[in-house]
Amino acid sequence: MKLKHLFASLFIAMAAFAMPVQAAENYNFDIKGQHAFIQFKIKHLGYSWLLGSFKTFDGSFIYNAQQPEKNSVTVSIDIASLDTNHALRNKHLRSDDFFDAAKYPTASFKSNSYKVTGKDTGILHGTLNLHGINKEIDIQLSQIGTGKDPWGGYRRGFEGHATLHLSDYKMKKAAMLGPVAENIELFLSIEGIRQ
């Protein structure tokens, strides 16, 4: 009897050992449900913050709990969707004085590494293409939550923060905003649906 128990235990242990490591999970941004946001703020003359967002974008990410260094994100942003809640200002920012949406209609981000910094935090490093220029940036990420949704799907949500430097992207009229507008604070709130 003891021998049977020994073989049973050995079989269970071997089966557990042979189980595949949890595969990477693929997620698409929940654009349809409007549970994803890309927002920014920049100082206006040093007196206040000017707030804005990009209304149209898309993206996906890969989440790997067993090998988090393989986590990755890709994002594509429609520059003409820039909105600062002021029609004339939006038109000026979309013009060739700044973002030049006609010539550079899309901005993109593609990560190339991820570093774990805590239980649910990390630094996503990658390349941002904006105004025709590629720059390496870091995004500080925090996982907000994960789990099943009421519709039978599975979701995972993050927020991210990054600082961009206006002078890096060579916009013609960037200097007119002055040195206080050099840093652009980027905020991301992303909810992904597992595919």
In angstroms, the CA 179 to CA 59 distance is 32
pLDDT tens digits, the chain, 195 residues: what are they?
A: 554 554 455 445 444 444 444 689 999 999 999 999 999 999 988 899 999 999 999 999 999 999 999 999 999 999 999 999 999 999 999 999 999 999 999 999 999 999 999 999 999 999 999 999 999 999 999 999 999 999 999 999 999 999 999 999 999 888 777 788 899 999 999 999 999
Token digits of residue 30: 């929940």
Q: Which helix (H) or strand (E) holds 145?
A: strand 133-148
Q: Of the candidates 2, 1, 43, which has an alpha carbon nearest to the alpha carbon of residue 184?
A: 43
What's the per-residue H, E or C state across 84-137?
CCCHHHHHHHHCCCCCCCCCCCEEEEEEEEEEECCCCEEEEEEEEEECCEEEEE
In angstroms, the CA 78 to CA 140 distance is 23
Q: Of the candidates 61, 70, 59, which has an alpha carbon nearest to the alpha carbon of residue 116?
A: 70
Apex 90 CA angle, 129 and 104, nearest 5:
30
In angstroms, the CA 17 to CA 127 distance is 38
The pLDDT score that the predictor gives to residue 177 is 79
Helix (H, G, I), strand (E, B) or coil at 17: helix
- What CATH number belongs to 23-194? 2.40.128.110
| pTM strictly above 0.75 | yes
The pLDDT score that the predictor gives to residue 7 is 46
